[in-house]
């Protein structure tokens, strides 16, 4: 009888290769998630687009918030965490029969992100123009001077 290869050996090798590829993919996905979560602390998916730019002397956060007014939006810094949130309520008389379709009643967003470096809290500026919220966070200036510390 001729020598035949064991079909289970071939299957075992196939499963081992598949397991290695899945492990590599999982490691890559884990690293991507770790890199993202290092800055973005938001919970759940968000439809609010956000950019964080390092301009050298400051971080600039830009957020798309169409339809929101400055009074609808809150910007708060706690330690190294920036919280951006907003809520817009469209109150319309339910008896108003002019509407053929109403989809823009209530909208809200909440984004949290960790800043990569400390910022000057007294110099933070925020503006909202044409549906774009811009927050400028100047970086904390570390003293360039050095001094000798005496040891007692």
Per-residue pLDDT tens over the stretch 65-122: 888 899 999 999 998 899 999 988 766 666 777 877 777 666 788 888 999 999 998 8
51/60 Cα distance (integer angstroms): 8
The parent domain of residue 8 ranges over 1-36
pLDDT tier for residue 41 given thresholds of 50, 70 and 90: low
For residue 62, being part of any structural domain is answered with: yes
Pair 4, 59 in one domain = no
114/34 Cα distance (integer angstroms): 13
Percent of the chain clearing pLDDT 90 (strictly above) = 32
Q: 59 with 52: CB under 8 angstroms?
A: yes
Q: How many separate domains does the chain show?
A: 2
Q: For position 93, what pLDDT does the model report? A: 66
Pair 60, 124 in one domain = yes
For residue 117, being part of any structural domain is answered with: yes
Averaged pLDDT of the chain: 80
Pair 77, 98 in one domain = yes
Per-residue pLDDT tens over the stretch 24-33: 887 777 665 5
For residue 1, being part of any structural domain is answered with: yes
Pair 27, 42 in one domain = no
């Amino acid at each position: 009888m001729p020598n035949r290869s064991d079909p289970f050996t071939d299957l075992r090798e196939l499963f081992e290769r598949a397991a290695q590829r899945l492990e590599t993919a999982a490691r890559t996905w884990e690293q991507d998630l770790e890199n993202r979560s290092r800055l973005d602390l938001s919970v759940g998916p968000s439809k609010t687009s956000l950019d964080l730019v390092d301009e050298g002397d400051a971080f600039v956060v830009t957020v798309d918030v169409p339809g929101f007014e400055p009074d609808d939006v809150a910007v708060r810094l706690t330690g190294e965490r920036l919280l951006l949130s907003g809520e817009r309520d469209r109150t319309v008389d339910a008896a108003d029969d002019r509407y053929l379709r109403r989809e823009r009643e209530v909208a809200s967003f909440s984004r949290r992100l960790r800043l990569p470096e400390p910022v000057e809290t007294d110099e933070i500026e925020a503006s909202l123009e044409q549906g774009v919220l811009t927050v400028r966070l100047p970086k904390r200036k570390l003293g360039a001077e050095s001094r000798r510390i005496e040891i007692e």
